[in-house]
Amino acid sequence: MPQYYIWTIGCQMNKAESERLGSYLEQLGYQPTPAADEADLVVLNSCVVRQSAESRVINKLYSLQSLQMSRPGVTLAVTGCLVDSEVDQLKKDFPQVDYRFKPGDYPQWLEKAELRPVLPQHPAPSSFVPIIQGCNNFCAYCIVPYRRGRERSRPLKEITGEVKELVHHGVKEVTLLGQNVDSYGHDLPDKPDLADLLTELNTIEGLARIRFLTNHPKDMSTKLIAAIAYLDKVCELICLPAQSGNNDILKAMRRGYTVERYHQLITQIRSKIPGVALSTDVIVGFPSESNQQFQQTVNLLSELRFDTVHVAVYSPRPRTIASRQFEDNIPLAEKRERLDIIEQLQESIAAEINARLLDQTIEILVEGRKKGKWQGRTRSGKLVFFNNNNDCSGQLTKIRIEKTSPWSLQGKVESNSTN
Ligand code: SF4
C-alpha cells in the first residue's frame, strides 16, 4: 500500500487543509506514515507569513529534494502560501518538485478520482472547519491577501452539513476558521453573518462546543458579542489581534481602528460575556516604532491583561505595503529585546490569571494523549493535563485543578459528563 507524509507549518487553516488532504489521499488508498523517508508521496504545506517560517519551509524543501534524489520514485508536492502567482520562479528554484498547488486547489490526480467531499475520515474530537478563505484587508505588513486571495465564504448550508457529518463521526467541538471570521458571509447571496452561522450550528445535536478565530477589531459586531453571550455551545474565548498600542503605528499598519476603540471593544466584550478569555496578537519592531510607541503596547497589555498574547517580530514580506513604503529600520537585536519584554510581562499575567483556577473544578474536552498524560481544553481554551488509566479521548470530563502555570493546568478527574 502506498504511503503519504504531510509536513505542515503555519496557521490552523493549514492544519485543517492538511487533515483534509490526508483524508483525500486515504480514499485513494494511501496510508499515513510519520517518516518522510518511508513515504511514496510527500506533501509540504507551507507558510510564508513571517520570514522565519519561510526560511524553515525553504530548508525543508532542500532536504526533501535531496530525499527525492536518493529515492527517485518519491512524488514531491508543495502547497500553502509559498505557492502563489509566481509559480514559474518556484519551478526554477525547486525543479525536483512534481506538483505545486494553491491552498484548496487540489491537483488533477486528486480531482479525477471523483472522491467524496473533503472531510477528515478519522476526525479528532475537536476539528477545524474553514468557513472563509482569503482576506480583503491588506494590513500593511501582511502577505496573506497576496497569497490566499480575496475573501470567499462557504455557504452556510454547506458548513452546517459538514459539521453534522463531523458530529456523526464523533466530533464534539468545532473551531470555525478564517483569516477574518467577522467578514463571513458578506459575499454570499443572503449575506448571513457569523452570528447567524453560530446560531444555526448551536442547534446541532451532539455538538458540545463551538469556537472560532480570528476576529478583527474593526469588524466585530455587537450582534456577534450578543450571540456569543447567549448561545450555550459557543465557547467564551475571543482572539482579537491588537497588533500595537500606538495610534500612529496602527494607522501605518492600516488596521482601521484606534487604541481607544480597541479598549472600548474589550470593555464591551467583558461586560456582556462574563468570564470570557481573551487572546491577542502583537507585532514589535514595525518600521520606525519608537521606544515610547513600543511602551504604549506594553501599557495596553498590562492594562487589558489577556489570557494569551502571541508576539511576533516584524519582518518585511515581499509585495506588502509596508515592505514597499517603509524601511525596516529597527535593528533585530532591538526587536528581540522588545519581544522578550512582552513575553516576560505576559508570563507573569498568565501565571496570575491561571492561578485563580487552583482548586476549581472545570469541564474539559479530552483531545488525546501527550507525553504519557491525557490532555484537553477548558471552554476558555486552557490546556489541562491529567492522569487516567481509562480511554478518555473525546469525553467531556470534570477536572479538579491541582497545579497551574502560565501555559497549562494539571489536575485529577472528578467525573465524566459524557462517554
Ligand atoms: S486582517 Fe490583516 S493581518 Fe489578518 S489576514 Fe487580513 S490582511 Fe492579514
CA-CA distances (angstroms) from residue 41 to 137, 150, 239?
A: 36, 30, 36
**Strand 373-378 to strand 383-386: parallel, antiparallel, or no bridges (unpaired)?**
antiparallel
Cell 478520482 belongs to which residue? 113
Per-residue model confidence (pLDDT) at position 22:
86
Distance (Å, whole) CA 132 – CA 184: 6
**pLDDT tens digits along 318-356:** 889 999 999 999 999 999 999 999 999 999 999 999 999
**Strand 373-378 to strand 361-370: parallel, antiparallel, or no bridges (unpaired)?**
antiparallel
**pLDDT tens digits along 18-45:** 888 888 888 778 899 998 889 989 999 9
> Comparing 66-70, 120-124, 160-164, 213-217, which segment has the lowest mean pLDDT?
120-124
Query: Is the CB of residue 142 below 6 angstroms from any atom belonging to ligand 1?
Result: yes
Per-residue model confidence (pLDDT) at position 27:
77
Residue 369 CB contacts under 8 Å (≥ 6 apart), including other chains = 375, 393
Angle between helices 259-272 and 291-304 (to 10 degrees): 10
Residue 393 has pLDDT above 80, yes or no: yes
Residue 59 CB contacts under 8 Å (≥ 6 apart), including other chains = none
Closest CA to 129 of 167, 159, 165, 170: 159
**Atom number of ligand 1 nearest to Cα 243:** 3
Query: Is the CB of residue 201 below 6 angstroms from any atom belonging to ligand 1?
Result: no
**Atom number of ligand 1 nearest to Cα 180:** 1
> Comparing 125-134, 193-202, 230-239, which segment has the lowest mean pLDDT?
125-134
What's the per-residue H, E or C state across the chain?
Answer: CCEEEEEECCCHHHHHHHHHHHHHHHHCCCEECCCHHHCCEEEEEECCCCHHHHHHHHHHHHHHHHHHHHCCCCEEEEEECCCCCCHHHHHHHCCCCCEECCCCCCCHHHHCCCCCCCCCCCCCCEEEEECEECCCCCCCCCCHHHHHCCCEECCHHHHHHHHHHHHHCCCCEEEEECCCHHHCCCCCCCCCCHHHHHHHHCCCCCCCEEEEECCCCCCCCHHHHHHHHHCCCECCEEECCCECCCHHHHHHHCCCCCHHHHHHHHHHHHHHCCCCEEEEEEEECCCCCCHHHHHHHHHHHHHHCCCEEEEEECCCCCCCHHHHHCCCCCCHHHHHHHHHHHHHHHHHHHHHHHHCCCCCEEEEEEEEEECCEEEEEECCCCEEEECCCCCCCCCEEEEEEEEECCCCEEEEEEEECCC
Query: Is the CB of residue 179 below 6 angstroms from any atom belonging to ligand 1?
Result: yes
Res. 100 pLDDT band, cuts 50 70 90: confident
- What is the mean predicted confidence (pLDDT) over 69-76? 84
Query: Is the CB of residue 215 below 6 angstroms from any atom belonging to ligand 1?
Result: no
Ligand 1 centroid to Cα of residue 310, in Å, is 15
Query: Is the CB of residue 137 below 6 angstroms from any atom belonging to ligand 1?
Result: yes
Ligand 1 centroid to Cα of residue 142, in Å, is 6
Per-residue model confidence (pLDDT) at position 107:
65
- What is the mean predicted confidence (pLDDT) over 117-140? 85
Query: Is the CB of residue 81 below 6 angstroms from any atom belonging to ligand 1?
Result: no
Residue ID of nearest Cα to ligand 1 atom 1: 137
**Strand 409-416 to strand 383-386: parallel, antiparallel, or no bridges (unpaired)?**
parallel
Q: How many residues does the chain have?
A: 419
Query: Is the CB of residue 175 below 6 angstroms from any atom belonging to ligand 1?
Result: no
Cell 465524566 belongs to which residue? 416
Query: Is the CB of residue 228 below 6 angstroms from any atom belonging to ligand 1?
Result: no
Residue ID of nearest Cα to ligand 1 atom 8: 142
CA-CA distances (angstroms) from residue 102 to 55, 99, 318, 325?
A: 19, 10, 18, 28
pTM: 0.89
Mutate to test the pocket of ligand 1, among 81, 142, 177, 257 (most ligand atoms within 8 A of CB): 142
What mean pLDDT is reported for the chain?
Answer: 92
Contacts 24+ apart (CB under 8 A), 117-120: 117/162, 118/20, 118/21, 118/23, 118/24, 119/20, 119/23, 119/162, 119/165, 119/166, 119/169, 120/19, 120/20, 120/22, 120/23, 120/166, 120/169
Residue 85 has pLDDT above 70, yes or no: no
Ligand 1 centroid to Cα of residue 80, in Å, is 16
Per-residue model confidence (pLDDT) at position 371:
85
Residue 105 has pLDDT above 80, yes or no: no
Q: Is the peptide bond before 33 cis (omega within 30 degrees of 0)?
A: no
**Atom number of ligand 1 nearest to Cα 143:** 8
> Comparing 64-73, 110-119, 128-137, 234-243, which segment has the lowest mean pLDDT?
110-119
Closest CA to 6 of 40, 56, 52, 50: 40
Distance (Å, whole) CA 155 – CA 270: 31
pLDDT above 70 as % of the chain: 95
Q: Which of 34-38, 122-126, 196-200 is predicted most confidently? A: 196-200
Ligand 1 centroid to Cα of residue 36, in Å, is 32
Ligand 1 centroid to Cα of residue 145, in Å, is 7
**Atom number of ligand 1 nearest to Cα 138:** 7
Per-residue model confidence (pLDDT) at position 267:
98
Per-residue model confidence (pLDDT) at position 19:
85
- What is the mean predicted confidence (pLDDT) over 108-121? 60
Residue ID of nearest Cα to ligand 1 atom 5: 179
Residue 108 has pLDDT above 70, yes or no: no
pLDDT above 90 as % of the chain: 70
Cell numbers for 410: 494539571
CA-CA distances (angstroms) from residue 18 to 79, 119, 127, 176?
A: 10, 11, 12, 16
Per-residue model confidence (pLDDT) at position 419:
45
Per-residue model confidence (pLDDT) at position 99:
85
**Atom number of ligand 1 nearest to Cα 214:** 4
Ligand 1 centroid to Cα of residue 3, in Å, is 36
Q: What are φ and ψ of residue 187, in 5° steps?
A: -100, 10
Ligand 1 centroid to Cα of residue 117, in Å, is 28
| Cβ atoms within 10 Å of 271's Cβ, excluding its own | 11
Distance (Å, whole) CA 13 – CA 15: 5
Res. 89 pLDDT band, cuts 50 70 90: confident
Per-residue model confidence (pLDDT) at position 165:
92
